Structure 1
Amino acid sequence: MYGYPYGFYFDPTYILLIIGLVISLIASTRMKSTFSKYRRVRSDSGLTGAQTAERILAAAGIYDVKIVPVQGSLTDHYDPRTKTVSLSQDVYGQTSVASVCVAAHECGHAIQHAVNYAPLNIRSAIVPVANLGSSLSWPIFLAGLIFSMRSLLMLGIVLFSLAVLFQLVTLPVEFNASSRALRLLESTGILSTEENLGARRVLTAAALTYVAALASSILQLLRLIILAGGRDRD
């Protein structure tokens, strides 16, 4: 809201923020509920997340990637700098369909790295500038609003655009990793045909969180552009 002599003016661009929050909340809720459902379903193979990762990496001819446990829930990730697949406590030693799916997905990233998958390389290259843009965009933009400096407004928008670009590049990386995971789970026989439906649901729900994050960021970027345009008219 903006202060005026006789009260306050509601900023209509808050609607964009609300829409973004709702989209992210829906995607996050669906992901958590889907993971929770299939975390209670034991895979027929009886393999843990760590064993699944070992088998998939071996099937792909990759033997220089470490598989380690990490604290937290849904904190699983692959670090190309250290060639490490980190699996959360809900995945590493668990034998559920959800655990197997998540482990396979992270191995999908390791395989991307091994085959020099271009979108993954691009994402890794822009991480520093994306982090910079994410941390500095709003302070600089707000300073531009306060001091009515168009140059700071534009710089804030450009910096935030870098964060949006990172999320845009992330989409093909994540979808491709999930696609690789599904193929590998089927070809290695880790999951049965019946279990593949659950695997697809888990990985689809996870992928939609990235779509939601991108949509939310685009709405925030649109809000910045609208606010900057409004200040120009003032």
Structure 2
Amino acid sequence: MYPSYGYGYGFGMDPMMILILLAFGLSLWASFRVKGTFNRFAQVRAGSGMTGYDAARRMLDLNGLYDVPIEPVPGTLSDHYDPIKRVVRLSEPVYYESSISAISVACHEVGHAIQHKEAYPMLVARHRMFPFVNFASSASPFLMLAGVLFGSMNLVWVGILFFSAAVAFQLVTLPVEFNATNRAKRLMVSEGFIDLREKPGVDRVLNAAALTYVAAALISLLQLLRFVMIFGNNRNND
């Protein structure tokens, strides 16, 4: 028989769960912050007069990526670089507007296109991990649940192993995002997309976005540790 999975602290919640809830709180705060910061600096016109499209096109061309197109997409903060089709997609408020937020986000996405061209190691690792992680993250909860229901710790640990792949993906994402941001910041200043007085606004927009990735990685890591502690403790009690 398997004992109940918990620590029995009297209040019905273990310390690791409290940390996870705090991380979720950080994630929610980061989400509100990135939206608020983007909206705030979307109202600040860039001195260069460049739109997000202008900045992205210029940055791509400076790096020899003349064949990478830029497409507008609906929504807000839906910006991304598609490595399969090799296209930069910018949300309409970024594509068409001339603001600190628009230029910052556009150049960040181009940073990923440059990483792709240069085969930036962490981006390559993330691309190679994605097919398995996409499957593993979906299968993991079912494997762990099946393991508990059928009393099979082997299934549980396979589920945890699959979940750890998703955590690794989140952790690999961090240097990819930070590197793209750093590339964007350097080029924006050196090429005159923004001036030094505007750089603090750029820092706020991009740092707020980076915090969302940090929060997501922290949540995943804490969840993994909690699974390991719960089921590891259960194995020790057998």
Q: Per the shorter chain, which TM-score range?
A: over 0.9
- Give the aligned partner of residue 209 of structure 1: 212
Conservation of the 8 A alpha-carbon contact between 1:140 and 1:153: yes
What amino acid is aligned across from residue 38 of structure 2 in structure 1? F
Query: Structure 1 segments of 4 or more deviating over 4 A?
Result: none
> What TM-score do you get using the length of structure 1 for normalisation?
0.92
Does the CA-based 8 Å contact 1:74-1:88 persist in structure 2? yes
Q: Percent identity at matched positions?
A: 47
Sort the Cα spacing of 1:62 and 1:88 in 2 relative to 1 into closer, same or farther, 3 A.
same
DSSP-derived class of the 2:94 partner:
coil
Match of 1:70 in 2: 73
- The residue type equivalent to 2:142 in the other structure is P
Residue-pair matches, total: 229
The answer to whether the 8 Å contact 1:66/1:84 transfers is yes
Q: Determine the structure 2 residue equivalent to 1:122.
A: 125
Task: Give the 3 Å change call, closer, same or farther, for CA 9–198 of structure 1 in structure 2.
Answer: closer
Give the corresponding residue for 1:110: 113
Say which SS state the counterpart of residue 166 (structure 2) adopts: helix
User: Equivalent residue for 2:12?
Assistant: 10
Q: Spell out the pairing of 1:15-164 with structure 2 (5 A cutoff).
A: 15-164=18-167
- 8 Å contact kept, 1:59–1:188: no
Q: State the shift of 1:29 in Å.
A: 2.0
Amino acid corresponding to residue 90 of structure 1 in structure 2: P
- Code of the aligned partner of 2:192: G
Q: Which digits, 9 at most, give the CA deviation of each residue in 1:13-57, with x for residues without a partner? A: 532431221121122122122111111111111211111111111
Deviation at 1:71, TM superposition (A): 1.7
Would you say the 8 A contact 1:24–1:209 is kept in 2?
yes
Q: Which amino acid aligns with 1:14?
A: M
Aligned Cα root-mean-square deviation (Å): 1.8
Structure 1 residue 9: deviation in Å?
A: 8.5
Q: What amino acid maps onto 1:36 in structure 2?
A: N
SS in 1 for 2:81: strand
Distance in 2 between residues matched to 1:74 and 1:87, nearest whole Å? 8
Structure 1: gaps (5+ residues): none
Q: What are the Cα deviations for residues 52-81 of structure 1, in whole angstroms up to 9, with x where unaligned?
A: 111111111211111001122111110111
TM-score (norm 2): 0.91
Kindly provide the amino acid, as one letter, of the partner of residue 105 in structure 1. H
Match of 2:76, SS?
A: coil
Q: Report the AA paired with residue 27 of structure 2.
A: S
Question: Match of 2:12, as an amino acid?
Answer: F
